[in-house]
Structure 1
Amino acid sequence: MKPSRLRPARLTPADVLRVGAAGLRARRARVVLSALGIAIGIATMVAVIGLSTSSRADLMNRLDRLGTNLLTAEAGKDALGQEVKLPENAVAMVERIGPVQHATATANVDARIRRSDVVPEERTAGVTTQAARPDLLTALNSRMAEGVWLDGARQRLPVTVLGSLAAERLGITEPGEKIMMNDEYVVVVGILEPVELAPSLDRVAMVGFPAAERYFGFDGHPTTVFERSTDASVEDVRTVLARTVNPGDPATVKVSRPSDALAAKAATDKGLTSLMLGLGAVALLVGGVGVANTMVISVLERRQEIGLRRALGAPRGAVRIQFLTEALLLSALGGTAGAALGTVATYGFALAQGWTAVVPPWSLAGGLAATLLIGALAGLYPAVRAARLDPTAALNAT
C-alpha cells in the first residue's frame, strides 16, 4: 500500500484573519499612521457628501416652505434711461389674471433715513425707504422678528417696520425707538426677519402706502409687484405678467422668479461638492500609497518569518493571502475610522447651522468599498513579493 501524499493544511478564514491581525498588532504605531491617511481621505469624502446632502435638504425644505410660485414684476428704465412708473392700479390688474391667487406691491419713497436729527442728511447708513401694502408678509411668507406689521391703522401713521439689515445698521434692537425720515420723526413698530425671497427688503425701512402719500409726497405708483399663482400655472402667468402690469410699455418690466436664485445655489453647491470629492479621492489615493509602503517594509522586515513558514511547508498562496489580508485589515481600519469621523463632522456642522443632518448610507458603503479596493491594490505587490521569496535566502537574511 502506497503511503498517502502529504498536503499542506489549508487556512480557514478565521486563521487568515488571526494571522493577518497578528502582523498588525506587532507594529501598532506604524499601523496607526498608515491607517490615518486612509481615514483622512474617507472622512473627507463622507463629510463632503453628508454636508452637501444636508445643505440641499435644508434648501429644499426652505423652498417648500417659501414656495416656488412667487413672481415679481419690477419697473425698469426706458430707452432714454428714465425710470418707468408702473400704473397705480397695477396690483388690481394682476389680480384679474385667472390663476393668480394673491398680488401685492412695494414702492420706492423719496425719504432719507437718519438715526436722529444730529446725524448729517447725507449719512443714511445705506438704508432706503419703501412703501408696503398690508398683505406683503402674507405674499412673501415672511415673519416679524420683533413688534408688529403695518396693518390696520398703522399704515396711515408715521411709523415704520425695518428690515433686518436696516435695523442693524441703524442700531435699532427693539420696537419703540424713533428714527428720522427726511425731517419727520417716525416710530419703529417692528423689525422683520430676513426675507429670503426678497433680500432687498432687508435693507429698507417700510411705511404704509397712505402714510407715504401723506408725509413724504409719494405719488402712489408701485415699483415692484409680487404675485403668487398655482404651481402649475407659474410659467403661463410669467408670459403675460409684464403686459398686464404695464400694458403701455411691457419691455421695461423685469419679471423674475425669486426661488430660481435658491435653486441656482443648489446647483452651485453640487459643483463644489464634486470638486471636494476629487480632493478627498486624492487624499484616499495618498493613503493607499502609505499602505503599500507599510506593507513593502513589513515584507522586508519579516523575511525570516516568511522563510520559516515556507520551510515548514506553507504554500505561496498562504503567504500571499496573509499579507493581502494584512493590507485589507489595515485599510478597513482606516476606512471605518474615517467613516465615523466624517459622520461626526457632518452631524456637528449641520447642527451648528441648524440643518437636518443627512449622511446617505450609500456614501458610507461606497467609502468602505473604495477603502477595500485601495487596500487590495496596495497590498497586492507586497503579497506577491513575499510569496516569491526563496525560503533558504529568506532564512539567511539579516
Structure 2
Amino acid sequence: MSTAYPALPAERQRPWADLPPPPRPKAARLSLSDVARVGGWGLRSRPMRVFLSALGIAIGIAAMIGVVGISTSSTNDLNKQLEALGTNLLTVAPGTTMTGDNAHLSEDAVAMIANRPEVLSASATGTTDAKLYRNDRVPAVESGGLTVSAARTDLLRSIGGKIVDGRWLNNANSRYPAVVLGAETARSLGIHRAGTDVQVWLGNRWFTVVGLLAPNELLPALDTQAFVGWTVAEKELSFDGYPTTVYTRAKDAEVETVHSVLGPTVSPEDPNEVNVSRPSDALAAKHAADKSLSGLLLGLGGVALLVGGVGVANTMVISVLERRSEIGLRRSLGATRGQIRVQFLAEALLLSGLGGLGGVLLGIGVTDGYAAYQGWAALVPLWAMAGGLAATLAIGGLAGFYPAVRAARLPPTEALATN
C-alpha cells in the first residue's frame, strides 16, 4: 500500500526559482609580464617563420638607418672639409667678349682686387704654353695633359694649399728654373720627393723640382699643374704676363658682397666678360646630388619596411588559422576576447620589435663599415634609431590588429570542432 503525501504549494515546488543567478567569475587580469610570456611562447613555437618575417622588417629598418647614417656621416665630413678649406674663396677668370673672342684679365687685376677692404688676400696664376716631361727623351706628343702655370709667390696662402715635400716658390727661387708640382702631376711623372737632384724637362730646358703640393680638394684642377715663378715664366716660357685665374679670400661675412663686385672691380667697362665662381659651391652641389640619391634609397628602405609589415601580417593570420584549437581551449577555460586579442597583438609587436632591433644594429654596422671605408667619422642620429624602432612597432601593431581581432571573435565551440 502506497502512502500518499500531500501536494506542496505551487510557490514551494521550485524554491530555487526566486534565487538570483550565481555571479560569473571574473577573468584573471594579465600582467605585462604575462602578456610578454604568452606572446613569446607563440613566437617560439614556429621559429623559422618568425625569423623570416623579422628579417623582412630588419632589412627595411637597416636600409633606412644605413641611408640616414651614411648621409649624416657624409654631411659631417663635408662640413669639416669646408671648415678646413674655407668657404670664403672666390675665383676670377676671363670670359668671352661680345664678339665671342676670349677675354683676358688685366695685369693689375690682382692689385685692384686686393685693394678692396673686404678682401683678405688675392693671388693669381697664368697659363703658359710650355710642355712638361719627365726627361728630354719623352716624345713631344706624350705630354700627358699636364699644364704649366706661372704662379705668384703668395698663391699658397690664398688657395689654402699645403706642401708635402720641399718648399713653395719664393722671391729667391721664383726668378730661376724652379718648379713646384701638383699632386697628380707628381704622381704621373713618378716623382715622390723634391730636391736639387730632381729635375724635369720643361719648356725645352731643365727645371729643378723644389716642392710637391698636397691634393687640393677645393681646387682639384691645381693637382694636374706645375707651377713656376712669374718672372722666369715671362723670361723663359714666353708668358704674356696676363693672369688666367685670380684667387681671392674674402671676409666670411662679406663673401656675397665681394662676389657681386669682383666683376666690376676687375673690368669696370665690361664686367660681363669676367667669370666669378665660388669653388665651395661645387662641393655643396655634389653633396646635394648625394642627398637626392639618399632620398631615393630611403624610399626603397620604406618599401622594404612595408614588405616586412606584410610578412608580419601574413605570419599572424596563418598563426590564427593554425591555432584555432588553442584559441578555443583558452576561451573554454575562461579567457576573454580581450585577452586573446592582447595575446596575438603582443606576438605581432614582439615580432616586429625583434626585427626592428636587429635592423637598427645592422644599419649601425653598415654605417660604421662604409664610414671606415671612406675615412669618415661614423655618425648615426639618435632620432633615426628611435624612429626606426617606433616605425616597426607601429607597423607591427597595424599588421597584427586584424589577426588579433579575428582570433578574439572565433567562437570556442567552432574552434574546438576544427581540431
Please state which band the TM-score falls in when normalised by the shorter chain.
over 0.9
Q: Residues 265-310 of structure 1, C-alpha deviation per residue, up to 9 Å, x if partnerless?
A: 2322222221111000000001111111111111122111111101
SS class of match (1:118)? coil
2:230 matches 1:205: no
Question: 1:125, 1:170 within 8 Å by CA — same for their partners in 2?
Answer: no
After TM superposition, give the deviation of residue 248 of structure 1 in Å. 4.3
Residue 334 of structure 1 aligns to which amino acid in structure 2? G
Aligned residue in 2 for 1:73: 92
1:84 aligns with 2:98: no
2:52 is aligned to 33
Q: Kindly provide the amino acid, as one letter, of the partner of residue 82 in structure 2.
A: L
Residue 355 of structure 1, CA deviation = 1.5
- Name the residue aligned to 2:362: 341
Q: Structure 2-normalised TM-score?
A: 0.91
1:61 aligns with 2:73: no
Cα root mean square deviation, aligned: 1.6
Alignment partner, residue 155 of structure 1:
174
The equivalences for 1:1-398 within 5 A come to 3-176=22-195, 177-398=198-419
Higher radius of gyration, 1 or 2: 2
Counterparts in 2 of 1:380 and 1:340: CA distance versus 1, 3 Å: same
User: Aligned-pair distance for 1:346?
Assistant: 1.1
Deviation at 1:236, TM superposition (A): 1.8
1:174-229, Cα deviation, whole Å (9 max, x unpaired): 32432221311222222222212222111111111112122212122111111112
CA distance in 2, matches of 1:385, 1:289: 17
Kindly state the Cα deviation for residue 147 of structure 1 after the two structures are TM-superposed. Answer: 2.7
Whole-angstrom distance in 2 between the partners of 1:12 and 1:343: 34
Between stretches 51-60 and 79-88, larger displacement belongs to 79-88
Deviation at 1:373, TM superposition (A): 0.7
CA distance in 1 between partners of 2:276 and 2:344 (Å): 67
* Gap runs ≥5 in structure 1: none
Change (3 A) 1:184 1:248: farther
Where 1:355 maps in the other structure, the secondary structure is: coil
Once the two structures are aligned, what percentage of the paired residues are identical? 57
C-alpha distance in structure 2 between counterparts of 1:148 and 1:80, whole Å:
43
Post-superposition shift, 1:231? 1.5
In structure 2, what residue type is equivalent to 1:117?
A: D
Q: Secondary structure at the match of 1:155?
A: coil
Question: How many Å separate the matches in 1 of 2:295 and 2:112?
Answer: 46
How many Å separate the matches in 2 of 1:197 and 1:134? 20
Give the SS at the match of 2:136.
coil
